[in-house]
Amino acid sequence: MLSQNLLALGFTSFFSDISSEMVVAIVPLFLTTGLGLGFFGVAAYEAAYQGTNAVFRIWGGSVADKRQSHKKTAATGYSISALTRVGLVISALVTAVPAVPFLLADRIGKGLRTAPRDALISLSTAPNRLAMAFGIHRAMDTAGALLGPLIAFFIFWQADGAFDAIFMISALVAAIGVATIWLFAEEKPQRAPAKHAHDTPRIRDQWRDVVSSKGVLGIAGGVAMLGVVTVGDAFIYLLMQRTNNFDARYFPLLFVGTAIVYLALAMPLGRLADRVGTRAVFLGGNIVMVALYLVLAFSSLGLGSALLCLGLLGAYYAATDGVVPAMVSQLVGPQVRASGISFITVIIAVSRMISGVAFATLFASFGRTTAMVVLAIAMSAAVLFSFRLLPSRPVSASQ
């Protein structure tokens, strides 16, 4: 039976992802056609995007554990992201107001909410069903990620370049997501409130507990190596669009293709991870990424190979996105759950900052084929090394 928190957070993510993916689906075009940026410009934006996210993930996880306020912290993050949509509307209507600061400010909200939200899911779920619960949540999340680009595509189809309409609808849908978490999610505190300030655990002690948890540093090393050689979605989609030079109005549909596969596989792969272990499913997802790189390297990226790329990317996310917090939740104690999840996801964010610059450099220096072959070889090596670092079947942390 699904817990109230899983349903509440699932619907929160559903509405929030409709809102955010409407914007995300047009950002690469906005940066390249609207602002005239090249791959290095997009890489710089991605680095700032991931960096902002990383800083506030640390803060969000730490504060949520210290105050045992996972719902409140996550809800605050969703509220901040919703407010940035209002800023984007103003930017679209008043050309003197730049949009990029609001796009980056959205990462403040996402950074604050992600670890507390995932911790709240894990604290509301039986230990032997963690990956399945995250699979259900990611499926609901991805349903929103599927609808968002479709709405953006429809708006673009009716009025090419109508960024203002997309931002306005995005803001309205985000408000529904914010209302859902505030009204229906419940806190799951793991200790009684402190009677005195000195009774509250220090953040430094929380992080010491996280790092000292058996297997956590192995996960950190594994995701760092894999993250550095993982090419971001924006680069993959831009590569496909530039190679085929298709109409920019169809660009949001690339996100839809990935989301359909992710939605179909998120729950089955979550169930499989609970049964065979998170390491096998997680590394399997990264092997799928190797296949994606090889298709990008050697195919003409026509319709058939483009659909294959979108399918492989969706499978990669289904095998990794929800499995990572489940893997961490099996290792760290409930009182530092959000800090543990934020620790690992921050490492992923920082490594993705590096990967964006690395890909832009390889692409500019050697072209598409060589860049993707180098990354395929590097990803294969990272999978082999990570196999030794990641825990195979960790003993679940006490609930």
Residue-wise DSSP of 157-197: HHSTT-HHHHHHHHHHHHHHHHHHHHHH-----SSPPPSSG
395 within domain boundaries: no
How many Å apart are CA 349 and CA 354, to the nearest integer?
9
227 within domain boundaries: yes
* Contact present, 223 and 324 (Cβ < 8 Å): yes
Q: For residues 284-304, b (16+ Cβ closer than 10 Å) or e, as one string?
A: bbbebbbbbbebbbeeebeee
Token duo for residue 119 = 């911790």
* CATH code at position 77: 1.20.1250.20
Per-residue pLDDT of the chain (399 residues; tens, 9 = 90+): 679 999 999 999 999 999 998 888 877 777 777 667 777 777 787 778 778 888 898 899 999 999 999 999 999 999 999 999 988 888 877 776 777 788 888 889 999 999 999 999 999 999 889 999 999 999 999 999 899 989 988 887 887 667 788 889 999 999 999 999 999 999 998 765 445 445 556 778 888 999 999 999 999 999 999 999 999 888 899 888 888 777 777 888 888 899 999 999 999 999 999 999 999 999 999 999 999 999 999 998 888 999 999 999 999 999 999 999 999 999 999 999 999 999 999 999 889 889 988 998 999 999 999 999 999 999 999 999 999 999 876 544 444
* Contact present, 81 and 103 (Cβ < 8 Å): no
| Amino acid, single-letter form, for residue 291 | A
How many Å apart are CA 282 and CA 219, to the nearest integer?
11
Question: What pLDDT score was predicted for residue 55?
Answer: 84
Domain range spanning residue 249? 4-185+200-389
* Contact present, 320 and 341 (Cβ < 8 Å): no
36 DSSP 8-state letter: -
193 within domain boundaries: no
Please report, to the nearest 10 degrees, the dihedral formed by the alpha carbons of residues 102, 108, 109, 115 taken in order: 160
- Domain count of the fold of the chain: 1
396 within domain boundaries: no
Place of tokens 């290792």: 331
Residue 191: CB atoms within 10 A of its CB come to 11
Question: What pLDDT score was predicted for residue 161?
Answer: 64
Pick from 110, 118, 121: nearest CA to 56: 110
399 within domain boundaries: no
Give the helix/strand (H/E) hosting 141.
helix 130-158
325 within domain boundaries: yes
How many Å apart are CA 149 and CA 155, to the nearest integer?
10
394 within domain boundaries: no
* Contact present, 259 and 13 (Cβ < 8 Å): no
153 within domain boundaries: yes
Q: For residues 76-85, b (16+ Cβ closer than 10 Å) or e, as one string?
A: bbbbbbbbbb
How many Å apart are CA 374 and CA 392, to the nearest integer?
28
Question: What pLDDT score was predicted for residue 160?
Answer: 67
Helix axis angle, 4-24 to 70-93, nearest 10°: 20
Residue 222 CB contacts under 8 Å (≥ 6 apart), including other chains: 385, 386, 389, 390
Question: What pLDDT score was predicted for residue 180?
Answer: 97
Question: What pLDDT score was predicted for residue 96?
Answer: 64
